Amino acid sequence: MKQVVKEIGFPIFSIEMDFSECKLDTTEEIVAYLVEQVKSHQAACYITTFDHLKHTSELAEGIVADHIVAAYNIVFCFGFSLQDAEQLATRPRSLGVCETDNRVTLSFMEAPMPVANALMEQWTRSLLSDKHQSSQHATPQGHQEDVQLHS
C-alpha cells in the first residue's frame, strides 16, 4: 500500500455584481444559464445542481449567514484529459452562485488547466450586461481575483 497526502492550493475566481449589472434578473435564471453553458460544451458533462442553502438549512447544526438568500453549486466535469488517478481528487468542477441582497457572487476553484479556467471565466463574465462588459479585468491564471464591478 502507498499513501500520499499532497498539499496543493488552488486560487478561487470570484466575481460579484449587482443584479442591475447582470443580463439576467434572478439567481434561478443565472443557474439555468450556466447549466446550459455546461451542457452545450462538447468537453463538459453536467452532473447536478446542488442547492447548498437548502441542504445547510435543513441540518440541525447547519449555519447560514443572514445575508445569504440563495446558494447553488453547478457540478460538472471537463473531460479534456485524465493523466493519473490523483486527478480524480480535484474533480468534478463546481460553479458557485450565491445571492446576497441585490447582489450575486459567482465563484469557482481554478483548475490546473488554463482552457477550463478560461471557459468558466467566460461563462461567468458573459452574464454582465453589455454596458458593464468594458469593466472586465484580466487576471493571469494562478492569481486570486477579487473583482467587484460597480457603475
Q: Total domain count for the chain?
A: 1
Range of the domain at 33: 12-149
Give the domain CATH number at 135. Answer: 3.30.310
pLDDT tens, residue by residue, 111-125? 878 899 999 999 999
Q: How many CB atoms lie within 10 A of CB 110?
A: 21
State whether the Cα torsion 70-12-31-78 is positive or negative.
negative
Q: What is the pLDDT of residue 87?
A: 83
Q: How many CB atoms lie within 10 A of CB 128?
A: 18
Q: What is the pLDDT of residue 133?
A: 64
Q: If you average pLDDT over residues 38-50, what whole number do you get?
A: 96
Tell me whether residue 3 is in a domain: no
Tell me whether residue 5 is in a domain: no
